[in-house]
């Protein structure tokens, strides 16, 4: 599942102007409210035993959902690389 929560309305507008939001929508992204959408559990709580890679700024057990969910914080490049490979990946492996 790909969830996108732009940091601000300004960032979302800019991403829309640059075509980024259209590309994310075409990839099946669920766009959440701006700000802390994903880290606050908007769009549905992360279920038990799931692995998540996220660009959120904070992490603690249960923050995004189930206590047994494993949440890995990473850079946007690392998250994009993981989306392409379906595993946590060094982004240098997929950069052209």
Same domain? For 59 and 40 the reply is: no
C-alpha gyration radius of the chain: 13
Closest by Cα among 65, 64, 67, 46 to 56: 64
* pLDDT band at residue 40 under the 50/70/90 scheme: low
pLDDT, position 50:
84
**Domain limits for position 69:** 45-96
Same domain? For 68 and 80 the reply is: yes
Residue with tokens 């923050």: 63
pLDDT, position 37:
54
From the DSSP assignment, how many helices (H) and strands (E) are in the chain? 3, 4
pLDDT, position 91:
93
- pTM, to two decimals: 0.66
> 55-83, pLDDT tens digit by residue?
877 677 777 778 888 888 899 899 889 98
């Amino acid at each position: 599942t790909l969830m996108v929560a732009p940091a601000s309305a300004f960032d979302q507008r800019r991403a829309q102007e640059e075509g980024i939001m259209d590309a994310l929508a075409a990839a099946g992204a669920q766009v959440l409210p701006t700000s802390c959408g994903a880290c606050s559990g908007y769009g549905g709580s992360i279920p038990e035993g799931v692995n998540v890679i996220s660009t959120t700024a904070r992490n603690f057990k249960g923050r995004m959902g189930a206590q047994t969910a494993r949440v890995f914080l990473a850079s946007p490049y690392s998250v994009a690389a993981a989306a392409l490979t379906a595993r946590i990946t060094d982004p240098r492996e997929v950069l052209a």
